[in-house]
A and B are shown apart, each in its own frame.
Chain A
Amino acid sequence: MNNPQLNKHGELQHLLSTEGLPARIMREILDRAATFLDEADGHEFKKVPLLHGKSVFNVFFENSTRTRTTFEIAAKKLSADVVNLNIGSSSTSKGETLLDTVDNLCAMHADMFVVRHSSSGAAHLIARHVAPEIHVINAGDGRHAHPTQALLDMYTIRHYKKEFHNLRVAIVGDILHSRVARSQIHALTTLGVPEVRVIAPKTLLPTHVEKLGVQVYHDMAQGLKDVDVVMTLRLQNERMQGALLPSAQEFFKYYGLTQERLALARPDAIVMHPGPMNRGVEIDSSVADGPQAVILPQVTFGVAVRMAVMSTLAGNTP
């Protein structure tokens, strides 16, 4: 089976998942992202003409403000024409199938799709369907993957920690439903992080999660001990209805990231969050606003990383 993300030269054709994405390509994206950030100028983005004359369609079948906005800024900084479509769930009730929608947008001469969908595998389906000169970027599919989030997280880690091969990283929270966690795990293991931990109650961990190459902890004190990076995840409110958790309060009491718990990690540990945060649920405000948090820089780096992904794809022909 061919890697659906790569063209026949082994270059990036679509960005669908960090699983199976070669470390070489990940590093190239991170290096390229750095060129878009003017570090001397307070992280101002440079406007470049790399996507001049290209049309980028942000097709969001699931609502998102932050991810869509950062993709939009990234595309505009690359001089692309950007079209935003919030299709939501209402359009599917009109009877048009996902691929019909895509066909229509292709007929409007899209060069690149940025797709978010609530079902795992939606981006793969679209990538299989479109003409070979069209690129697809997965902006989140169900519980499966959110590769640009994981890449911006890798950028952030590299920015603060320089290397990957000497790190201990802990991912905390709802791993089961998290596409971010899955993508982070694959990116971290691919880039050579020797120890990736997941910390969660058993109800929020998928079966055989250890086969992804992580160590499983149920206890925050043990799981956070001596880690260099703490990656927190958003806890959705609806998890309380599925009998997965009794309450947000109890979750915070045992798994919330507080100053006291963070003290167990290495003193120079950084704290990350993909946003939007639930203060007092997965993370305490004092940590979120504290000196170890790098949550806002993550957002800034996210624009540069998305610029890097889009320009890399645009430079690769089928």
Chain B
Amino acid sequence: MNIHIRNGRLIDPKNRIDAQQDVYIAERRIVAIGKPPEGFVADQVIDAAELIVMPGLVDVAARLREPGYEYRATLESEMNAAVAGGVTSLACPPDTDPPLDEPGLVEMLKRRARVLNQARVFPIGALTYGLKGLELTEMIELTDAGCKAFSQADAPLTDTRVLMRAMQYAATFGYRVWLRPQDSFLAKNGVAHDGEVATRLGLPPIPVVAETIALTTALQLARETGVMLHICRISSAAGVELLRAAKREGLQVTCDVSMNHVHLTEMDIGYFDANCHLMPPLRSQRDRAGLLAGLLDGTIDAICSNHSPVDDDAKQLPFADAEAGATGLELLLPLVLKWAEQESVPLLDALARITISPAQLLGQQMGHLSVGAHADICIFDPQTSWRVAPAALKSQGKNTPFNGYEMQGRVRYTLLDGQMVYESQS
């Protein structure tokens, strides 16, 4: 089917385009930008006047809860949420039940996602069996099955010898290792940033050194092993500083931050709002400033939703007993737009953090609208404002610290591989 997207403002960070340009799609791919190819006849014309046309979003952390936690969310519900948020590619962490530690599981997940034909799913394989931190998984087999990187998700890997060997093995084959840095001893039982709020509310704390110690270890081992290291969900200013130094030195390391940490701090916990029980914990205002600076100077490569749907029963508990996590796929774009507006970041740079940069972290040729690329496209109305309400979310996870927030920017159309997979009702 030939599609003509006309009159839109095209923003393609990779090709540094921000201009009024039409997009022409044929046979699932972008065939021309600006002027139609010779003899192009559109089967469908999308009028994108007043709208922004951008590459489909790439989210490097979205938990789909399958297999094992289908009572929290299903692939169907979360893929609906993804495309409603303009997300056409997402990486899912391996902390399912059972974890993504063997090829059959990964193949099944890929197959289920393919049948739904909404967003592309890129599984992150478990770095160790059962995420137990003891034995390496079959990384070659898992890669053949479709894994794009290897990670412990939020599970601890306390044995540094195992970590070093996992990195050596991954480096042998050019595989990426993704780690969320947190020393499990220092973070034991912790639920909130070790700061003023945790002290006042009497919440078991997680100090910043839990992040910097684990990060220092990971960076040292990456230097030693030469592995391609990606640091997930950085949360502290001190952590950003360590990464800045590592990048300056030329180490092959990348980093992402969750949209929650871009906008919120420990203060948002207020009177024990369990929706702000997140992992890593929301940190201080100074840490948030450090994260914003890291985004601005490129120390932080990508912004992710860290989408973690949690059912109501697991959230309607005292803060520490409530499960960590929040829904996010449908909020990623508006929250990145909000950040761009608040920090005066040009859209071209802001949208790079949810398109081409995360695509590169996954080693995939996507996240851009070059001629010849798969037509994964998000078209949104930058003027529409809407209020976040549980009923307005397609995700089965309704819990978000942004409940009641006013958002600017709403997805109108999402195209995957040249096919319309989402069209808003309004």
Contacts and interface: CB of A to CB of B under 8 A. Distances in A.
A22 interface: no
Interface stretch (B17-25, B172-180, B312-320, B377-385): B312-320
Nearest to A16: B271
A34 to B, nearest CB: 30
A124 B272 contact: yes
Secondary structure dominating the interface of B: loop
B271 A207 contact: no
Interface string B309-333: 0000100111111000000000000
A121 B322 CA distance: 11
Contacts of A121: 201, 203, 271-272, 318-320
Contacts of B201: 120-121, 144
B402 to A, nearest CB: 15
Given A120-B201, A144-B202, A207 B319 contact: no
Interface in B247-285: 270-272, 274
Contact of B318 (A19, A119, A211): A119
Given A1-B271, A125-B272, A207 B318 contact: no
A68 interface: no
Contact of A122 (B199, B203, B207, B318): B318
Contacts of A98: 316-318
A179 B201 CA distance: 9
Contacts of A142: 202-203, 318, 320
A125 B320 CA distance: 12
A121 B194 CA distance: 17
Contacts of B271: 1, 4, 121, 124
A144 B191 CA distance: 14
A124 B269 CA distance: 13
Interface string A61-98: 00000000000000000000000000000000000011
Interface residues of B, number: 23
A119 B317 CA distance: 9
Contacts of B270: 1
B194 A207 contact: yes
Interface string B336-359: 000000000000000000000000
A207 B207 contact: yes
A212 B196 CA distance: 8
A117 interface: yes
A208 interface: yes
Contact of A119 (B205, B313, B316, B320): B320
Interface string A250-271: 0000000000000000000000
B198 A207 contact: yes
A206 B192 CA distance: 13
A120 B196 contact: no
Nearest to B320: A119
B287 to A, nearest CB: 14
B195 interface: yes
Contacts of A111: none
Contacts of B318: 98, 117, 119-122, 125, 141-142
A110 B404 CA distance: 32
Interface in A97-153: 97-99, 117, 119-122, 124-125, 129, 141-145
B195 A207 contact: yes
Interface of B: 194-196, 198-205, 207, 270-272, 274, 313, 316-321
Given A117-B318, A120-B272, A125-B316, 13 more contacts: A1-B270, A19-B200, A120-B319, A121-B271, A121-B319, A121-B320, A145-B202, A179-B202, A182-B200, A182-B202, A207-B205, A208-B195, A212-B199
14 contacts: A99-B316, A117-B318, A121-B272, A124-B272, A125-B272, A125-B317, A125-B318, A142-B203, A142-B318, A144-B201, A144-B203, A179-B202, A206-B199, A207-B195
